Amino acid sequence: MSTQPTLSRVDRPKSHEAFARAKAVIPGGVNSPARAFGGVGGEPIFMARGEGAYLIDLDGNRYLDLIGSWGPLILGHAHPKVVAAAMEAAQTGASFGAPCERESELAEMVVEAVPSIEMVRMTSSGTEAAMSAIRVARGATGRNRIVKFAGCYHGHVDALLVSAGSGALTLGVPNSPGVPEGCTRDTLVLRYNDVQQLEDVFRVHGDSIACVMLEPVVGNMGLVIPTLEFRKALRELTRKYGALLIYDEVMTGFRLSYGGAQKLFNDEPDMTALGKIIGGGYPVGAYGGRQDIMKQVMPAGPVYQAGTLSGNPVAMAAGIATLTELRNHAPYTRLDQLTRKLCEGLSAAATDADIPHQINRVGSMWTLFFTPVEVNDLDSAKTSDTARFSRFFWGMMDRGFYLPCSQFEAAFVSAVTTEAEIDQLLIAAREVFSSGI
Ligand SMILES: Cc1ncc(COP(=O)(O)O)c(C=O)c1O
Ligand SMILES: N[C@H](C=O)CCC(=O)O
């Protein structure tokens, strides 16, 4: 890959026209705020197609994609086996409104891969998965209170849209208007990695806490890594007080290992929310856990949860093809090495340019924070120089590297990315850093 000549922002006339058209009929011109470029200024770039590690915009500019549709595309765009599986499924019907065997096949693969999951229910999005897991936890325990952590994002579930990460954080609405106070009255928000706070809250409210939900590696305030002490405290306190521990692995599931963050860490949550990769880029979500908990779900049990397109055959087929590829040709070791090279190279380049920074990384998920402070929770993430991030973002974009459009999002490397492309990215980053950003 050759580094693209520097483009100016006005060199994307077709994207500009497409955005104007979209804004007339779609709020803000986008169907999810995280893509709106609100954190970096300027206009979102409209894509025409994806090819392997690349995105190609309407004006024909190619970008090395470091987002992968915010996580799902670990195998890159239009992977031939995923395309073939989805097409074959589409040719036999888009949706049946009745069970099909692909649902069991994908569920079996999830159960086999994720040690703590004995049963799993498919949904159509990660939001639904998180929302449903909370409902089941409340139903199973007969308690109402839930604990979440500032900066974690679990989709746009009312009860969890408090101090939320991702686009809500980027665009300054971590507590969204439209969420009635009643919906969040039972949500306790704590600081990520703060064991003392966790202990204090359980001491006071332990008997009424249904569950604790967290991203076991956070991607939605930028990448934040849990300490071992924090993970141990989560497991011990939830067990002690009879609350359920829910890992939201919508982003980390099958990304950090074939089995997610919990397999990497050897952790055992009671429930897990999944999405993204298990649908191979098609709309999907899932939640699962121990049989005794999952048997609370209707029609096996009394907790209602449903979906017209849940277990959609095309999404199931794409998910099966993706997991099959990940199981048979595990990319995780290579991804870890490649992403380490990327992050070490970025850090060296930033140091040479005297730019204060931190890089957090687990496997192929990473964030370059423009701050001198170690980032391990939302407050430290917020010390970042977001104006500098914005200049870095546009400098890289104009050189053909598509990074998340917010300091408070994780970036991803895909399995089809090559070492030569990482070398090119590092050359581009050095150029951008030395341009005085
Ligand atoms: C950790 C996490 N949970 C839940 C969600 C919600 O998933 P979806 O956007 O598919 O509703 C996301 C991403 O948006 C996520 O990153
Ligand atoms: N950070 C979000 C998901 O992980 C971004 C995706 C979105 O909300 O559009």
325-358 pLDDT per residue, tens: 999 999 999 999 999 999 999 999 999 999 999 9
In this structure, the answer to whether residues 102 and 240 fall within a common structural domain is: yes
Question: Model confidence over 364-417: pLDDT tens digits?
Answer: 999 999 999 999 999 999 999 999 999 999 999 999 999 999 999 999 999 999
Percent of the chain with pLDDT over 70: 98
Whether 240 and 98 map to the same domain: the answer is yes
Residue 74 inside a domain? The answer is no
- 249 touches ligand 2 (CB under 6 Å): no
Quick check: 314 pLDDT over 80?
yes
CA of 7 to the centre of ligand 2 (A): 27
Mean pLDDT of 242-254: 98
74 CB-side CA count, 13 A: 36
Quick one: 248 and 268 in the same domain? yes
Report residue 7's pLDDT band, with 50, 70 and 90 as the boundaries: very low
- Any ligand 2 atom below 6 A from CB of 364: no
Q: Does the residue 71 lie in any domain?
A: no
Lowest mean pLDDT among 180-184, 186-190, 254-258: 180-184
**Alpha carbon distance 26, 28 (integer Å):** 6
207 annotated active-site: no
Two structure tokens written together for 39: 């954190």
Other beta carbons within 10 angstroms of residue 120's beta carbon come to 22
Q: Is residue 401 part of a domain?
A: yes
Beta-sheet pairing, 401-402 with 62-65: parallel
Cα separation, 184 vs 151, in Å, equals 16
- 285, 150: one domain: yes
Mean pLDDT of the chain: 96
User: Same structural domain for residues 323 and 409?
Assistant: no
pLDDT of the residue at 6: 45
pLDDT over 80 (residue 9): no
Over residues 208-212, the mean pLDDT reads 98
CATH classification of the domain holding 345: 3.90.1150.10
Token code pair at residue 38: 């609100």
Whether 304 sits among the annotated catalytic residues: the reply is no
Domain boundary among 273, 293, 328: 328
Judgement on whether residues 225 and 97 belong to the same structural domain of the protein: yes
Out of 309, 328, 347, a domain closes at 328
* pLDDT score of 275 more than 60: yes
With respect to residue 73, please indicate whether it lies within any of the assigned structural domains.
no
* 31 in contact with ligand 2, CB cutoff 6 A: no
- Tell whether ipTM is more than 0.90: yes
**Catalytic (active site) residue 153:** yes
Report the predicted TM-score, pTM, of the whole model to 2 decimal places: 0.97
**276, 277, 287, 367: residue to mutate for ligand 1 pocket, most atoms within 8 A of CB:** 276
- As beta bridge partners, residue 149 has 190
Inter-residue long-range contacts of 198-202, CB under 8 Å, 24+ positions, other chains counted? 198/147, 198/230, 198/233, 198/234, 198/237, 199/233, 199/237, 201/147, 202/237, 202/240, 202/241, 202/243
Torsions phi, psi for 127 (to 5 deg): -55, -50
Q: For residue 71, which atom of ligand 2 is closest to its CA? A: 4
Q: What is the pLDDT of residue 170?
A: 84
Instruction: Report pLDDT digits (tens) over 62-94.
Output: 999 999 999 999 999 999 999 999 999 999 999
Amino acid 11: pLDDT:
81
Q: From the CB of 220, is ligand 2 less than 6 Å away?
A: yes
Does residue 310 lie within any of the structural domains? yes
Whether residue 316 is predicted with pLDDT greater than 80 in this model: the reply is: yes
209 pLDDT above the threshold of 50 = yes
Residue nearest to atom 4 of ligand 2 (CA): 70
Q: Work out the average pLDDT over 23-31.
A: 98
Residue 339, domain extent: 9-65+331-434
For residues 251 and 214, what is the distance between their CA atoms, to the nearest angstrom?
Answer: 12
Q: Choose which residue among 35, 67, 69, 70 to substitute to test ligand 2 binding: the one with the highest number of ligand atoms within 8 A of its C-beta.
A: 70
Contact 34, 243 (CB under 8 A): no
Residue 70 within any structural domain of the chain: no
The candidate with the shortest Cα–Cα distance to 106, out of 351, 313, 343, is 313
Confidence category of residue 181, pLDDT binned at 50, 70, 90? confident
pLDDT given at position 169: 84
Between these two residues, 176 and 406, which has the higher pLDDT value?
A: 406
Does 145 share its domain with 57?
A: no
- Domain for residue 3, yes or no? no
Q: Does 1 score more than 60 pLDDT? A: no
Q: Categorize the per-residue pLDDT at 2 as very low, low, confident or very high, splitting at 50, 70 and 90.
A: very low
**Do residues 125 and 245 both lie within one domain?**
yes
Contact predicate 310/123, CB 8 Å: yes
Q: What percent of the chain has pLDDT over 90?
A: 93
SS3 label, residue 355: coil
The rounded distance, in Å, linking the Cα atoms of 97 and 105 is 17
Peptide bond into 99 cis (omega under 30): no
State the pLDDT at residue 3: 44
With cut-offs at 50, 70 and 90, classify the pLDDT of residue 174: confident
How far is the centre of ligand 1, averaged over its atoms, from the C-alpha of 77 (Å)?
19
293 phi, psi to nearest 5 deg = -80, -50
Domain count, the chain: 2
Pick the last residue of a domain from 328, 348, 371.
Answer: 328
Do 315 and 360 fall within a single domain? no
Q: Out of 65, 194, 248, 377, which one is annotated catalytic?
A: 248
**Cβ of 414: how many Cβ atoms within 10 Å?**
23
Per-residue pLDDT at 57 exceeds 60? yes
CATH number at residue 132: 3.40.640.10
Answer yes or no: are the C-beta atoms of 409 and 170 closer than 8 Å: yes
154 lines ligand 1 (CB under 6 A): yes
